[in-house]
Every structure is written in C-alpha cells, then in structure tokens.
Amino acid sequence: MCLKLFSTFTLILALFRGKLNTTSILIKNMEYQKERFLKVYANIPLGLRKEIVLVVEDKPISWDVAFIEVNSDTPLSKIILEKLDKLGLI
C-alpha cells in the first residue's frame, strides 16, 4: 500500500512539473497494475489458476484467462486490471 501511494504521489508530482501528461499517467498506472498482476499470478498455486476470479461483461474470468489477456495487452486486459485492483487482489 505504501509503495502504491508513493508511486501515485511521484506520478502526480511529475504531472505538475510538466514532465507527464494524463495519458502518460494512465499508461504508467496500467504498467504498474500489470507488474503487480504478474507478481501475484506467479505466486498462485497451479490448481487455483483455473478458478473464476471475476466476471467481466457477463463472462467469467479465471486467473489463467486474465493472464492471457494481460500478457497480450488486449482492451479487455485494462478492464481486468482495474477490477482486480479495485478488489484489492493485485
């Protein structure tokens, strides 16, 4: 949590200094979420990776499906990362 607040503060400070625009912040946030997702995914036991972790657009998403989407940088991966972040799973 402390690292997330520090990263957010650093991004906001860079924005005010004119070094970043809002698009850059969104990209950096997604990269940060992707990095956290990959760390969490690596520590999930193989048997649990097939379990449904969330539902997006009435479709069940398992950890394995989420990994494929995130690793491929699909538009659905942005939604998955946001929801997992809001749930506090990454």
pTM of the predicted protein model: 0.70
Note the pLDDT tens digit of each residue in 11-37: 666 666 766 555 555 567 778 899 999
Other beta carbons within 10 angstroms of residue 75's beta carbon come to 7
Compute the distance between CA of residue 45 and CA of residue 56 in angstroms, rounded to an integer. 23
**Cβ(69)–Cβ(80) under 8 Å?**
yes
* Token code pair at residue 12: 């906001």
Where is pLDDT greater, at 79 or 5?
Answer: 79
Note the pLDDT tens digit of each residue in 41-58: 999 999 999 999 999 999
* Residue boundaries of the structural domains of the chain: 2-86
